[in-house]
Amino acid sequence: MPQLHFVTQGQGPLVVLSHALGCDLTMWDGVAAQLQPHFTVLRYDHRGHGRSPAGSDAFTVADLADDAAELIRAHGGGAAHFVGLSMGGMTAQALGARHPALVRSLVIANSASHYDEAALALWRMRIATVQAQGMEAIADGALQRWFTPEFRADSRGGQARVAALRAVLVATAPAPYAAACAAVAGIDLEAGNATIGCPTLVIAGDRDDATPPALSRAIADSIPRARLQSLDAAHLSAVEQPEAFAQLLSRFWDSLPAVR
């Protein structure tokens, strides 16, 4: 298991933020700033992303959940509120099923629990493109999925955030990125979701073409008593709408006094 890079800020109950494929912990800058007055916020880079080493072997989303569990244990604060987006949301689902004692609550944003054959073909195409042509070849398409056109054009902050995350994506090494794509494509999380017992919030992006709202509804339906909310955003809703995203988290946690 690689030694993952992480940062912590703030004080209070532990919140762990788990980022999307091709991003790093800076994806959470806006949300972390909103949460840190009331929570200890731990953000980390998935293996092969940001400043975390890749390791030498193929891996699964279950391995990503075990990585997250080790981080929570190492922090020493007991169970955490775990928030994951996209690949991080898949990690959240697996974590809740595999390590229930380590999660006070789950938030699963812009994610999926399985893919059909048409989606799997797209994942295979992306892996082949990255292996043959490198990360630059898929970068612009990723940005179109990640953000709405108006956010990409917003000179008051959106353009800068888009440029920064594009730089993170193209700096990701092709081999670990392809391995992460294979891990994501291989998810089959519904059976585990049925065993999740902690309070769970699922967040959909109304304009998310990468993981459309129907996939979020399917996750919410597969987890007992899960709640479903939505934001007017594309795939990286936490980047595009950080204040609204953080407000959804705070309202969810405020409704759970027994686990706060």
Q: What is the pLDDT of residues 190-240, one digit of tens each?
A: 999 999 999 999 999 999 999 999 999 999 999 999 999 999 999 999 999
22-44: average pLDDT = 98
Within 8 A by CB and 6+ apart from 248, the residues are 107, 201, 203, 229, 231
C-beta neighbour count of 139 within 10 angstroms: 17
Angstrom distance (rounded) from CA 17 to CA 95: 13
Query: Given this model, what pLDDT does residue 257 score?
Result: 67
Decide which of 56 and 219 is more confident: 219
Q: What b-and-e string marks burial along 14-48, b requiring 16 or more CB atoms within 10 Å of the CB?
A: bbbbbbbbbbbbbbbebbbebbbeebbbbbbbbbb
Asked whether the predicted pLDDT for residue 17 surpasses 90, the reply is yes
The helix-helix angle for 136-146 and 158-171 (nearest 10°) equals 140
Q: pLDDT of 128-158, one tens digit each?
A: 999 999 999 999 999 999 999 999 999 999 9
Query: Do the Cβ atoms of 29 and 243 come closer than 8 Å?
Result: no
Query: Do the Cβ atoms of 79 and 201 come closer than 8 Å?
Result: no
The CATH architecture to which 6-254 belongs is 3-Layer(aba) Sandwich (3.40)
Residue 45: name the closest of 55, 36, 58, 56 by CA: 55
